[in-house]
Every structure is written in C-alpha cells, then in structure tokens.
Amino acid sequence: MSHSTTAATPKAFGGGRSPFNVSYGKIMMWVFLLSDAFTFSAFLISYGTTRFASAIWPDPNHVFHSFPFMGEANLPLMFVSLMTFILILSSVTMVLAVHAGHCNDRQGVVKWLLWTIIGGIAFLSCQAWEWTHLNHQGAWWGSFQDLTASKDVYHHFFKPAVLESATAAQLSQSTNNFFNFFFTITGFHGAHVTSGVIFNILILINTVNGTYAKRGHYEMVEKVGLYWHFVDLVWVFVFTCFYLL
C-alpha cells in the first residue's frame, strides 16, 4: 500500500511532517486565546441576555459623555474613542515589534515594544479615570439598589423621556445590572491589559539582554504579540456592546 505514495507530495496528516507548520508554543497560545474568547463572549452574551430581558436600559451616549478636564461639557463617546484609538495604535506598534523580530532587528523590537508598553499604560490610565468618574456618579458593583431614591440619581444615565416614564424598580434594576456587567467586563479586560503590559515588559527585558538574539529568533515576541492583539480584539467587541449598541 505504501508503494503508491511518494515523498514528493506528502499529505498534511500523512505523518512525517507537522501538519500545521506551527510550533507547539504558538499552537498552545492560539488554543488559550480561543478558550479566552469563549470566556469573554460568555460575559458579553449574558450582558445581552440581561439587556434583552430589561424594559429599559441606560443610554451609552448619556453614561459616557465626559472627558477629563472638560468639566460638564457634553462629549458623548469621545473619551472611549480615544481609548479605542490608543489600543489600536498599541496593537500596531506590537505588530511592528513582531515584524522587527522576524528581521532579527533587535533595536526595532526594543523601540516598538516600548511604544506598546506606553500605549498599554495609557489605556489603563484612561480606564482608571473612567472608572473613577463613574464611581463619583454613584456607580459600582451592586450600586443603585435603593428603590426609594429620587430619580435624580439616574439622570446621568438615561434619556430624559425614558427617565420620566420609568418606574423606580425598572431604573434600579437596569442601572444596577448595567454597572455590574460594565465593571466586571471592562475589569476583566483591564486585567488582561495589565498582564499583557507585564508580559511585554518581561520580553523587553529579555530582548535588551540579548536572550532572543542568542536564541536566534524572536518567537517569544510573536507569542506575546498574539496575546496583545487578542486583548485589542476583545476591546473591539466590548466597545461595540457597551458604547455603540
């Protein structure tokens, strides 16, 4: 039976070669990211379920209308657009670091990793500001449970017409649910960004020390890069679910 096969055209799963042509570490990073994608989507889909079950829901253009140092100016979506742009740019600098790695360009890897780390820290700072700002408006995990509270406490979060007609129970439940999901999901994402920044710092140290130059390749930069791009990818969906829909 083996007489009919020749080595010239090996089948992908015929043995003798790696069918995926990818190293073990990279496959495992992809598998991990796939599982992480299911974790994040479980969060986002349960957010969707709760939203579909609610009679009213906070309006993103009202909740997210502030910008640092702009006081009471009404700038809906502007700050989160800035955050999104920062994260996209840090993804670009990461892919440029990976590219420099392919070219064995140590200086390039160092330069672009530094920019990526700066981008990640800038994003986290923006998130810290946004959390603090919302917290000053009374939002946190488990907030807005007081059914006797005046409607004024919700005026940051709803369209005036919706606020007018809603019952105390509807306002309390939807706002409480909204912020539980908001802090959980952006918090889980922020935790990913934080660990991504730490990984980036670690591989930057290794690059500076010449560990990868000695090894002959920068695959580690590539693997951490996959993780970093995934974090950007998740933000694309968080941005849509919380700020646009």
Partner 1 sequence: MSHGAHNDNNIQHLYEGDQSKLYSGVLAHHHDVKSDESKAQVKKIWKITFILSVITVVEVLGGLYLSAHLSKVIINSIFLILTVLKSAYIVSVFMHLGDEVKWFRNIVLMPLVLFIWFIIAFLYDGGHWKTMNNENPARFDYHHAK
Q: Which of residues 42-101 bind partner 1 (CB under 8 A)?
A: 45-46, 48-55, 60-61, 76-77, 81, 84-85, 88-89, 91-92, 94-96, 98-100
CA-CA distance, 199 to 120, in Å (whole number)?
11
Would you state the structure tokens that stand for residue 28, as one six-digit string? 């495992």
How many residues are given for the chain? 245
Q: In terms of CB distance, is 18 or 125 closer to partner 1?
A: 18
Chain-centre distance of CA 140, in angstroms?
A: 20
Q: Is 243 in the site for partner 1 (CB under 8 A)?
A: yes
Contacts of 123 (CB under 8 A, 6+ apart): 83, 86, 87, 90, 193
CA-CA distance, 229 to 92, in Å (whole number)?
9
Give the closest residue to 177 by CA, choosing from 75, 68, 48.
48
Give the closest residue to 241 by CA, choosing from 1, 106, 52.
52
Q: Is 147 in the site for partner 1 (CB under 8 A)?
A: yes
Q: Is 245 in the site for partner 1 (CB under 8 A)?
A: yes
From residue 107 to residue 146, what is the string marking binding to partner 1 with x (rule CB under 8 A)?
A: -x--------------------------------------
Q: In terms of CB distance, is 94 or 204 closer to partner 1?
A: 94
Which position has the token pair 């996209």? 88
Task: Report the nearest approach of partner 1 to the CB of residue 124 (Å).
Answer: 19
Binding segment for partner 1 among 40-48, 126-134, 181-189, 190-198 (CB under 8 A)? 40-48
Task: Report the nearest approach of partner 1 to the CB of residue 126 (Å).
Answer: 15
Residues 175-214 that bind partner 1 (CB under 8 A): none
Binding segment for partner 1 among 102-110, 127-135, 175-183, 199-207 (CB under 8 A)? 102-110
Q: Is 17 in the site for partner 1 (CB under 8 A)?
A: yes
Q: In terms of CB distance, is 117 or 135 closer to partner 1?
A: 117
Q: Which residues of 151-176 are buried (b: 16+ CB within 10 A; e: fewer)?
A: eebbebbbeeebbeebeeeebbbbbb
Q: In terms of CB distance, is 20 or 141 closer to partner 1?
A: 20
